[in-house]
Amino acid sequence: MTEGNFVDYVKIFATSGNGGKGSMHLHREKYITKGGPDGGDGGRGGHIILRGNSNYWTLLHLKFKRHIKAGHGGHGSKSRSTGADGTDAFIEVPLGTVVRDTFTNEIVFEITDEGEEKIICQGGMGGRGNWHFKSPTNQTPRYSQPGIPLEEKQITLELKVLADVGLVGFPNAGKSTLLSVITSAKPKIADYEFTTLKPNLGIVKYRDYKTFVMADIPGIIEGAAEGKGLGHYFLRHIERNSTLLFMIPADANSIKKQYDILLSELKRYNPEMLDKNRLIAITKSDLLDEELTEELTKELDIDLDIDYIFISSLTTKGIDKLKDKLWLMLNN
């Protein structure tokens, strides 16, 4: 999936169907000139339904389909015939989609399971035909109910990427390069910050035909939790990853300081993120010789309270060890 094809934010105007009118028919046949009421009920208007589909990874298919309409219910007719129900309109969305009310920004619901269905707009109920209203004192009612009007809503769909491992780090920390090395994904890679502006997904092939999904999340900057640098757009994708791999380059001024800043941003955005499995990958470790690696190891053993691993996407140093470690963390 290319960056341009990844759409994670779409606004949609949804309109359900009107309920059909009840019939006001009076029974008539060749030898029955004054039969009783036999008007049928109107049909239900179509619903607008969101349905989870694991085959979708993005909201791209909805990018240019902003108006969704369901069918209207059919009107009732003679012989107590009920009108046809309006056709429901289904919106297929990837798992991890959050539905918000566009005007209040409140979360309406979330779609997280395959085949899960939620109604956004209820179709109008069909009106009752005149045969419902007959009584001993009113044997030929000449009235029926109109259908319930349609429902309109403007909603915002937000995708929070569902992945096993999320790559977390500052811009230009080597996240996209790692993804390109251990998966078949082709993210944009360049020697400047904020090369990645949308999440990239890749499938990591492990031993014995096992796989897991890795997500390259755009770089976080200090203040991201307050929305700085599109922070909220980036951070929400980290919420759904079960394991977080913190990417910090070996040539950073202070590995512990960078880790603390990243952890602080996650905590301020959503404290529950600290409950996830965490691992630090010291990237660009091909820049270190054995002596520097030993010195850095002694320093990190004192400063850090979580596991870390030295890797290099350029020389593939530590890549297999990283896969083993991540697999154990995912299946522990």
Q: Residue 227 pLDDT more than 70? A: no
Number of domains in the chain: 2
Q: Residue 208 pLDDT more than 50? A: yes
Q: What is the Rg, in whole angstroms, of the alpha carbon atoms belonging to the chain?
A: 29
Domain final residue pick, 159, 182, 216: 159
Give the integer Cα–Cα distance in Å for 126 and 75: 8
Which of the residue ranges 38-47, 256-265, 290-299 has the most confident prediction, judged by mean pLDDT?
A: 38-47
Task: Give, in order, the Cα–Cα distances in Å from 143 to each of 3, 33, 150.
Answer: 59, 19, 22
Mean pLDDT score, 138-155:
92
Q: Are residues 31 and 84 both part of a single domain?
A: yes
Q: Residue 38 pLDDT more than 70? A: yes
Residue 90's DSSP bridge partners are 49
Mean pLDDT of the chain: 84
pLDDT band at 193 (very low <50, low <70, confident <90, very high): very low
Q: Are residues 120 and 4 both part of a single domain?
A: yes
pLDDT of residue 24: 92
Give the integer Cα–Cα distance in Å for 76 and 82: 5
Roughly what angle, to the nearest 10 degrees, separates helices 255-269 and 290-303? Answer: 40
Q: Tokens representing 298?
A: 């002694």
Domain final residue pick, 159, 184, 208: 159
Q: Are residues 128 and 169 both part of a single domain?
A: no
pLDDT of residue 220: 65
CATH assignment of the domain containing 83:
2.70.210.12
Three-state SS string over the chain comes to CCHHHCCCEEEEEEECCCCCCCCCCECCECCECCCCECCCCCCCCCCEEEEECCCCCCCHHHCCCCEEECCCCCCCECCCECCCCCCCEEEEECCCEEEEECCCCCEEEEECCCCCEEEEECCCCCCCCHHHHCECCECCCCCCCCCCCCCEEEEEEEECCCEEEEEEECCCCCHHHHHHHHCCCCCCCCCCCCCCCCCEEEEEECHHHCEEEEEECCCCCCCHHHCCCCHHHHHCCCCCEEEEEEEEECCCCCHHHHHHHHHHHHHHHCHHHHHCEEEEEEECHHHCCHHHHHHHHHHHHHHCCCCEEECECCCCECHHHHHHHHHHHHCC
pLDDT of residue 1: 45
pLDDT of residue 332: 76
Per-residue pLDDT tens for 77-121?
Answer: 988 899 999 999 999 998 889 899 999 989 899 898 999 999 999
Q: What percent of the chain has pLDDT over 70?
A: 87
Locus of tokens 């512990």: 256
Domain final residue pick, 141, 159, 177: 159
Contact 48, 16 (CB under 8 A): yes
Locus of tokens 């419902």: 132
Q: What is the pTM of this model?
A: 0.67
Q: Give the domain range for residue 69.
A: 1-159
Q: Residue 144 pLDDT more than 80? A: yes
CATH assignment of the domain containing 276:
3.40.50.300
* Length, in residues, of the chain: 332
Q: Tokens representing 168?
A: 């977390």
Q: Are residues 292 and 226 both part of a single domain?
A: yes
pLDDT band at 263 (very low <50, low <70, confident <90, very high): confident
Report the range of poorest mean pLDDT among 40-44, 123-127, 203-207: 203-207
